[in-house]
Amino acid sequence: MKKYFRNCIYPNFNNKCLTFGNVLIDEGKIKNLECIENFNSEEDVNEIINLCGKIISERLSIEEENNFNINILSPGFIDIHMHEENFLSEGAHFVISEMMLKQGVTTCIGGQCGVQNQSLKTFISEINALGGAPTNYMLFTGYNQKRVALGIGHYSKPTKSQLNELKKQINEEINDGAAGISFGIEYDPGISTEEIIDVINSVESDDIIVAAHYREDGSGAIDSIKEMIEIQKNIGNKKFQISHLSSCSAMGSMKESLCLINKAMEEYPQLDFDTYPYNAFSTQIGSEVFSEGCFEGWGKSYEDILLTDDPYKNIYCNKQIFEECRNKYPEMLAIAFVMNEQEIEDAVVNENGMVASDGIINHGNGHPRAAGTFPRVIRKYVRENHSISLYKAIEKMTIKPANRLNLKKKGRIEEGADADIVIFDYEKIADGATYEDINIPPRGIYEVYISGELALKNNEKYNENLGKFMLRR
């Protein structure tokens, strides 16, 4: 598909600026860039739009002047941490990746927090059988899932033979193209630091990412951050990703956590983190996260927990409902309002780090982050709070995760790059999903392209099978 985008503003990561110009895509690639004017990456976007308007108004007739709009042309967003569809329990159809597409995401990385809903081979096979996916996909191999399958208890250590089997299974999926290994330490507290390091170092290649959901949040956040930094120190050149820092440290420990991470990254640039822009987390109510003592640790109560599925959909807990759901509906997703808003912002706008949704959906229900993370960052922190520039926000959602994943043709607007593109109106882009209704689509996103083909237009799916599974490169 050949298409010419005129009079748009796009991030120019090579020159570290915002460029006003024209973009030609053809045969799935960005073929040509025509620069009209470059602007400082930190300059106010509304000022840039006004200046661009003056530039082109001088070139247009009155009729043409009334029919143009200056939009942002961004690389398709890359969600480096989300939870993929569960084809085995929910059937062979797409749910969360459709939500991702509507918010401008063109590449998703699933298999996070040690949880892998199906094997790598099964996931690839299902995508191929469906003729493609709404977005591109990569997958981590989930350590906890394999641990559970071997019958190892949440608080237990594996035997020597079990550990060898775990290493074997991890290496098989890495060799088959998994992007890396994920751990959910909090979900299985029996996983020791030594076990994690041992498993990671059983993989010969350094060209993988290791992602981990921390051991403990709240009062235990700092020790958790220190543990993950210690892991990075002991795994050579492999990259370590601290998952969803917001839900670990935004309970009073964010400033110290960021200081620890920023300092460690000076010595270990392979280290980094991702975070999402909401002050509530979500996970299964039957998990170890909600074990005894959690409310005391958070300084919160049962009433701060919102349930997402029948028979208690959109109901806040009391002690009786909480205990009933823990016992009868352990897989129900619960939303915990336990984080501090300012600390969420501090993590998003920090010099290091990336934006990721941690989106998870169970039978169509869940947290609005699965449907609104990326437009929310632009709406809230760029346009309204002015706490981060549009350039840096897009950088955290595109080229940073692309480089992290060694996706050299994605996450950038440059000649020869893949034409994965999202077109949006800076003044209108906003998240729509709420905690009560996650199906409200974002606003202000006009078009999404994958490999140069139109995938979405004005929230309507145009082609839902353009995404492919991408093996680790």
Which amino acid is present at 296? E
For the cut 70, the answer to whether the pLDDT of residue 393 exceeds it is yes
Q: Exposed, middle or buried by CB within 10 Å (0-12, 13-18, 19+), for 440?
A: middle
For the cut 80, the answer to whether the pLDDT of residue 51 exceeds it is yes
Task: Convert the pLDDT of each residue in 273-331 to its tens digit.
Answer: 999 999 999 999 999 999 989 999 899 999 999 999 999 999 999 999 999 999 999 99
The pLDDT assigned to 64 comes to 53
For the cut 70, the answer to whether the pLDDT of residue 14 exceeds it is yes
Task: Convert the pLDDT of each residue in 140-188 to its tens digit.
Answer: 999 999 999 999 999 999 999 999 999 999 999 999 999 999 999 999 9
The pLDDT assigned to 57 comes to 81
Is residue 349 within 8 A of residue 12, CB to CB? The reply is: no
- Over the chain, what HEC string results? CCEEEEEEEEEECCCCEEEEEEEEEECCEEEEEEEEEEEECCCCHHHHHHHHHHHHHCCCCHHHHCCCCCEEEEECEEECCCCCCCHHHHCCCCCHHHHHHHCCEEEEEECCCCCCCCCHHHHHHHHHHCCCECCEEEECEEHHHHHHHCCCCCCCCCCHHHHHHHHHHHHHHHHCCCCEEEEECCCCCCCCHHHHHHHHHCCCCCCCEEEEECCCCHHHHHHHHHHHHHHHHCCCCCEEEECCHHHHHCCCCHHHHHHHHHHHHHHCCCEEEEECCCCCEEEECCCHHHCCCHHHHHCCCHHHEEECCCCCCCCECCHHHHHHHHHHCCCCEEEECCCCHHHHHHHHHCCCCEECCCCCEECCEECCHHHHHHHHHHHHHHHHCCCCCHHHHHHHHCHHHHHHCCCCCCCCCCCCCECCEEEECCCCCECCCCCCCCCCCCECEEEEEECCEEEEECCEECCCCCECECCCC
d(CA 123, CA 173): 12
Task: Convert the pLDDT of each residue in 84-98 to its tens digit.
Answer: 999 999 999 999 999
The pLDDT assigned to 285 comes to 96
Token digits for 281?
Answer: 């987390």
For the cut 60, the answer to whether the pLDDT of residue 52 exceeds it is yes
The pLDDT assigned to 67 comes to 55
For the cut 80, the answer to whether the pLDDT of residue 59 exceeds it is no
Task: Convert the pLDDT of each residue in 336-386 to its tens digit.
Answer: 999 999 999 999 999 999 999 999 999 999 999 999 999 999 999 999 999
The pLDDT assigned to 473 comes to 74
d(CA 271, CA 231): 10
The pLDDT assigned to 66 comes to 52
